[in-house]
Chains A and B, each alone.
Chain A
Amino acid sequence: MQLKHIFLSLSVSLLLVGCANAPQPPLYSWGDYVKSSTKYGMDGHNKEVLEQHSAELKKIIDESDMNKQKVAPGIYAEYGQILFETGKKEDAKQYFLLEKKTYPESEKFINQIMKKLYGEA
């Protein structure tokens, strides 16, 4: 039984390795975004969760700047969203604008959001 397991795990890992390409360095810095964002999505009403996610986003932005990397898609906008929710409306605006500037694909959507939040684009 034990042997069979070893054989199976070997074959699975070999097949997986065989199929994968040589790993490329990631395009962006993500920190602990996956976990933090999921937690926020499931439990964003919890003040502690919100603050943790906010801190994580800020960390990602700082880290990207430090590494002279482009900030990953959506990070500025999401940080702006949290700033707005916590009453820092003018700071939030800067981050919505940064999202648009960094990723022109987001312009139409961000304009609509800003219209809703500020009454202007």
Chain B
Amino acid sequence: MQRLLYLGFLALTAFLLTGCAQSVSQVSKGEFYPKVYAHQPKSILVLPARNTTTSVDATDHFRYTITKPLAEQGYYVFPVHLVDAFFKSENISDPEMIRQIPVKKLKEIFDADAILYVDINTWDTGYTVFSSNVDVGLSFSLVDANSGEEIWQNNAYAYSYQGLDGNNGLVGLLVSAVVTAANTGTDYTALAYTANNVGSKQLPQGAYGRAYHKDMDEKIAILDSAKLEGGKLYVDEYFISGLKKEEKVPLTVRQYQKGYFAFPVNNLNIFKHNGYSNYYVTQEINGKKFLRNRFFQYENGFPYLLANGKKVFVYTEKDGTIPYSEENGKYYFQVENIVDLKTQPNS
């Protein structure tokens, strides 16, 4: 067993090394999130999360568990229960109504620098005799409270795996079956915290953070999911049509260990193993609806992919859809604008 593990490890290392050498774009946080550095918000007001999935009772967990991760990123986070009490005293308790309040009005009341909107857009549950899992997907949108403009956008995925521990073998299987029967529950608080935590970590640090402003030069390495060639932005078929299945495809890359885990979605290679159920997600920010593709990064509302060390912006329809073309079995997007990254791989 040890030997096999070792072999697996070697193979994996080789895979990772070649994978990295081929197509990684290095981008500094300053280049990836320029608007955050331009506006430098100090305080964040988190509005009630919006749930576009069929799960009923998980929504509130997401709002209550994000205070700590945001504060640990160095931001002042308005005390959520006091904010709730304030809205209640103004006879506004419906979460949707609160989200419809114009940013200008929120600025007046709270004097917040930025408003965070959280959308829950994936909620998949799976059961087997021995296990249960819950997968959750979030979109974050941080809006500058003075201008109403979006300054940061991010997706996050997390999952819970409960039940059989994959490493325990047959004895473990029998023991776990008994344990699992007694307790298949997922702790939504832990799941929501995990997702919020990984999502918040991507946000450049705020004024109370140790790396405030210094993290501007921090480099992020992202595996390219596209290739720029002859003025066209090529992606593989998976990018366009996923696994070509009509039904929902739940996340499948999991550690078969009990617990709560998260991974960011902007690495297509990880996401590839999973399929996805919605190509586009709808976000509603400050009363406006946005249709967004999961795999793209957005700047000023315009979608781009990192490719060959450049930000490649693509053509978008008015409703937010991104049309693609097919040519000899190859898929590409129409390029609108190319911005060179200053950060170059230093290898």
Contacts and interface: CB of A to CB of B under 8 A. Distances in A.
Interface of A: 2-3, 5-16, 18-19, 21, 24, 26-28, 30, 33-35, 37-42, 44, 72-75, 77-78, 81, 99, 103, 105-109, 112-113, 116
Contacts of B81: 37, 40-41, 44, 78, 81
B64 A78 contact: no
Q: Output the residue of B64, B74, B209, B261 with the most chain A CB within 10 A.
A: B64
B79 A7 contact: no
A99 to B, nearest CB: 8
Interface stretch (B82-90, B96-104, B176-184, B301-309): B82-90
Contacts of A3: 4, 8
A38 B255 contact: no
Contacts of A40: 81
Shortest beta-carbon contacts, A-B, top 6: A74-B79, A108-B111, A9-B255, A105-B43, A38-B64, A105-B76
Interface residues of B, number: 55
Interface of B: 4-5, 8-9, 12, 16, 42-43, 60-61, 63-65, 67-68, 71-72, 74-82, 84-86, 89, 109-113, 166-167, 189, 192-193, 208-210, 218, 253-257, 261, 263-264, 267, 270, 273
Contact of B82 (A18, A28, A38, A74): A74
B117 to A, nearest CB: 18
A37 B80 contact: yes
A78 B71 CA distance: 15
B111 A105 contact: yes
